[in-house]
Amino acid sequence: MSATILSGLVARAARVSRLVEKVKKLSYIPQLAIIQIGDRSDSTAYIKAKMAFAKKIGVDIKYTNFKETISQPEVLAAVKNLNVDHSIQGIIIQLPLPADIDRATIIEAIDPTKDVDGLTSTNYDKLLSGDTFAIVPATARGVKELLAYYLISLKGKRVAVVGRSRLVGAPIAVLCRNDGAEVMVCHSKTVNLADETKKADIVIVAVGKPGLIGADHIKKGAIVIDIGISKMPDASLKGDVDFEAVKDIASAISPVPGGVGPMTVLGLFENIIDASL
């Protein structure tokens, strides 16, 4: 029997009315500022998806696109102006950035209360400390929302998180532990990845290596969440999990595309609305 498909599109659609009602209850229209440097087609596509969702739930977007020739001090000045603009509730920097712009410097310049991507050290440290007011990175929040929609409990489950990036893997591991899971974090130094992942009830993968996780990595009946997304030479999109090889072993699996991606957008706007309260 094939696995249940954990559709982020379905889960997000079920949450839209809730967000619309939250926005309506505010005394003003929340506004998200998006800064993009350059014109990468994939980044532009992500921004368009955010704009479309913002329009659907009643959030305004202030979009600024800089040429790749912009200097780092100029970007910092733009961020600082947004920090003091009271009409802006959230600020995101569309990644990746050009090589001559230091990502950490730009991210750390964002006011932590407007850091709706949850990337500043202030918010990351709050998350690690268990602060319930920490802004959770959008992808991590989206994964949690996806599991909740499909009534998948983490309590008492053994979870393998493959990938330990500050943006995705690390915060997801923290959220899983907070919800009562036993968490194993696997990474490039893990000696035998399959030995670890086959012990897990839930496998969450965020590495960016297409097809990394195959049939020999998953035990029968496991739940698989695929966060990785890579553009292939034929322009198709593939995840970190070999979907065809795993779908008849897992009890449930998120597809790529259409799984975690839509939920990441949902998580971002949940953060914006929380920042607006």
**Which residues carry out catalysis?**
50, 94, 117
3-state SS of the chain: helix, strand, coil percent to 5? 40, 15, 40
Using DSSP bridges, classify how beta strands 237-238 and 230-231 pair: parallel, antiparallel or unpaired: antiparallel
Q: Nearest-CA neighbor of 96 among 50, 43, 136, 139?
A: 43
The tokens for 199 are: 């012990």
SS3 assignment, position 6: coil
* Rounded Cα–Cα distance for residues 255 and 199 (Å): 22
Rounded to an integer, what distance in angstroms lies between the CA atom of residue 109 and that of residue 102?
11
> What order do you get walking across the sheet with 252-253 strand by strand?
4-5, 252-253, 223-226, 202-205, 158-162, 182-186
Residue 211 assigned as binding residue: no
Q: Return d(Cα 150, Cα 162) in angstroms, integer.
A: 21
Q: Is 156 marked as binding a ligand?
A: no
165 is in an annotated binding site: yes
**Cα 61 to Cα 124: distance, rounded to the nearest angstrom:** 25
Is 229 assigned to a binding site?
yes
Three-state SS for 92?
Answer: strand
CA dihedral for 24, 53, 144, 141, sign (positive or negative): negative
The annotation places the binding site at: 163-165, 229
The annotation places the binding site for NADP(+) at: 163-165, 229
